[in-house]
């Protein structure tokens, strides 16, 4: 398995530790800003009690550069965003 994420990869798992129990959260999305400022929304699953898990699908990684993900969810009376995470996508052969 590669240590880098490459353009057009499929099946790569994005796992985000939310730092607290989110097992009862609803309305969960990942607001994604791609390198060329194209906004996308990915729908993750909850894994365990603290993690969001998203499996990269075809077309999700269509640009090289830094992707930013901002989780959004509702938990009880609170609705808002978690910390932004970043990862880099490389051209094949880099």
Q: What is the pTM of this model?
A: 0.90
Integer angstrom CA distances of residue 70 from 2, 56, 73, 92, 93: 24, 16, 10, 26, 29
Domain ranges of the chain: 5-90
CB 42 within 8 A of CB 50: no
5-90 is classed CATH 2.60.40.10: yes
42 - beta bridge partners? 30
Q: What is the pLDDT of residues 28-66, one digit of tens each?
A: 999 999 999 789 999 999 999 999 999 999 999 999 999
Q: What is the pLDDT of residues 8-23, one digit of tens each?
A: 999 999 999 999 999 9
Strands of 51-55's sheet, edge to edge? Answer: 13-17, 51-55, 45-47
């Amino acid at each position: 398995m590669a240590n880098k994420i490459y353009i057009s990869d499929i099946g790569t798992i994005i796992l985000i530790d939310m730092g607290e129990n989110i097992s009862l959260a609803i309305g969960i999305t990942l607001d994604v800003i791609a390198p060329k400022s194209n906004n996308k929304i990915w729908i993750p699953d909850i894994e365990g009690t603290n993690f969001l898990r998203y499996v990269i699908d075809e077309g999700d990684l269509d640009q090289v550069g830094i992707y930013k993900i901002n989780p959004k969810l509702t938990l009880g009376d609170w609705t808002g965003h978690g910390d932004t995470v970043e990862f880099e996508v490389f051209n094949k052969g880099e």
